[in-house]
Amino acid sequence: MDKILIRQLKVDAIIGIHEWEKQNKQALILDLDLSFDCKPAAKSDDINDTLDYFKVCQQLTDFISASRFELIETLAEKSAQMILDYYPCKKVKLSLFKPEAINNTDAVGVRITRSQ
């Protein structure tokens, strides 16, 4: 299966269980592997025949920026489902990182894979 890869998408969001996290946006970083058949787009060279990664990033950024969740697991699940609902993906592998969660780490995160 072919894939579109999106790496290091940065989005600020309200997320966390602590009171200070519920008041201040934090940086989140996403990596996505979006599985779909890219042969039609490769043949036609037409953006309408592919999965438009610009639109995916914009919709995901808008959704995450407006969201308020306590757990990154919940945000990852909702984000993956949104992509599957709106785009011609067969499978979404999504990694969501929270860089400022724990001192002395680059980030903590979750990785999920969801299919149609």
Catalytic annotation on 98?
A: yes
Lowest mean pLDDT among 52-56, 87-91, 99-103: 99-103
pLDDT average, residue stretch 65-80:
96
The total number of structural domains that make up the chain = 1
Full residue range of the structural domain in which residue 24 is found? 2-115
47-to-24, 40, 53, 93, 104 alpha-carbon distances in Å: 37, 10, 10, 22, 43
pLDDT, position 102: 79
Confidence band, pLDDT 50/70/90 cuts, at residue 104:
confident
Give the CATH number of the domain where residue 25 resides. 3.30.1130.10
pLDDT at 37 over 90: yes
Q: Active site residue: 43, 55, 91, 98, which one?
A: 98
Please give the DSSP secondary-structure letter assigned to residue 38: -
Across-strand partners of 13?
26
Cα separation, 45 vs 31, in Å, equals 25
Distance (Å, whole) CA 75 – CA 82: 11
Give the mean pLDDT of the chain.
94
